Amino acid sequence: MKSEILTLLRDRGDYVSGQELCQRFGVSRTAVWKAINQLKKEGYRIEAVQNRGYLLLAEEEVYSQNALKSRMGTAWAGHPVSFYKTLDSTNLQAKRDAEGGAPEGALVVADMQTAGRGRRGRSWQSPEGVNAYFTLLLRPEYTPDKATMVTLVMALAVAEGIRETCGIQAQIKWPNDVVIHGKKTCGILCEMSLESDYIHYIVAGTGINVGQQELPAEIAETATCLEAECGKKISRAVLIANIIKAFEGYYEKFKDTLDLSGLQQEYEGLLVNKGKEVRMLDPKGEYSGVAEGITDTGELLVRLTDGSVTEVYAGEVSVRGIYGYV
């Protein structure tokens, strides 16, 4: 009920009487009073005036389960949401939840991770109070060969969520790095549990550098954070809610065709690789070309020096002018 009260107070922008809250939620005035006081303890500034009711005053950043739940305007994605002050990893927790029967759309959010991971087993710095770390649980009915496209769908959703929240244009470095002004601000790690040709579940984990911070020396020149780029404070709860809303819409389009044909134009419009010289770091040997876009199943199309076009399925791809590659 607390998150529903919070949503109503925020949407109304004016006093809401205790009587209305009682009738709306079918509870006593004492129950409403207790819920309001619990919200105050979380950090919300709520004014109570006799004969007028309750007013939510201008919000500062409140990062909690109720903050997230009250903003989750989606049909299924982000429901339920579980918030933790500290976790080993949101992906690991989402896997534990999945094994325990959590439904598709369950969202795990942490203020801090002690064992955050990126692609290829790399660690992901996860300090408290500044960044967004979250994982969405999916229980797809499609075959495992389609699952690789989910990471591109999430990258598209992150870019849209950043635009909606911050008012700045983010781009995508294929397949799923989200970059602003040539610097990485987000990493995405999708993992799945499968048996033969059946997917038990997918966990789509995302880490975003949000608040002003001193980045680790090894990435200080190649990474950035949202507040440094947009010059204002960003609510992590609002950001996550906007990303999950965007993901729900994009994912439904993906499921309609089980490919990226319905999202290809939008994805390519944000693709920082497109038209740029790229270098493929293939174990069999490096080679270069010019990226031309993606296939409808998410492979990167690269025109080689001999004029032929090859499809890049996986691996490291460096883009001239991005992350120090010049």
Q: For 45-76, what is each residue's pLDDT tens digit?
A: 888 888 888 888 877 778 999 999 999 999 99
Q: How confident is the model at residue 326 (pLDDT cuts 50, 70, 90)?
A: very low
Mean pLDDT of 4-16: 86
Q: Rounded distance, CA 303 to CA 289, Å?
A: 5
Q: Is the pLDDT of residue 309 over 50?
A: yes
Cα distance between residue 144 and residue 147, in whole Å: 5
Section 76-105 average pLDDT: 97
pLDDT-derived band at 168 (thresholds 50, 70, 90) equals very high
pLDDT at 121 over 60: no
- Joined tokens for residue 177: 């790095």
- Give me the residues paired with residue 190 across strands: 204
Architecture (CATH level 2) of domain 277-319 = Roll (2.30)
Predicted local confidence at residue 210, as pLDDT: 95
Which of 160, 155, 217 has the alpha carbon at shortest distance from 186? 155
Confidence of residue 198 (pLDDT cuts 50, 70, 90): very high
Question: Tokens at residue 26, please?
Answer: 């079918």
Flag whether pLDDT at 188 surpasses 50.
yes
DSSP at 145: G
Name the percent of the chain lying above pLDDT 70. Answer: 95
Q: Residue 311 — very low, low, confident or very high, per pLDDT cuts 50/70/90?
A: very high
Instruction: Work out whether strand 177-180 and strand 183-195 pair parallel, antiparallel, or are unpaired.
Output: antiparallel
CA atoms within 13 A on the CB side of 201: 22
pLDDT of residue 321: 65
- Region 38-43: mean pLDDT is 86
Q: What is the pLDDT of residues 129-149, one digit of tens each?
A: 899 999 999 999 999 999 999
Q: 92 pLDDT exceeds 90?
A: yes
CA 281 to chain centroid: 27
Give the mean model confidence (pLDDT) for residues 26-42.
88
Is pLDDT larger for residue 12 or for residue 155?
A: 155
More confident residue, 158 or 217: 158
Residue 320 pLDDT: 67
Structurally, at CATH architecture level, domain 2-56 sits in Orthogonal Bundle (1.10)
Q: Where are the domains of the chain?
A: 2-56, 65-270, 277-319
Sign of CA dihedral 315, 112, 240, 125: negative
User: What value does the mean pLDDT take over residues 232-249?
Assistant: 96
Considering only residues 245 and 213, tell me which one the structure prediction assigns the higher pLDDT: 245
Identify the CA nearest to 1 among candidates 30, 20, 21, 16: 21
Report, at the CATH architecture level, how domain 65-270 is classified. 2-Layer Sandwich (3.30)
The rounded mean pLDDT for the chain is 90
Which whole-number Å values give the CA distances from 118 to 89, 156, 183, 258, 270, in the listed order? 11, 18, 16, 26, 22
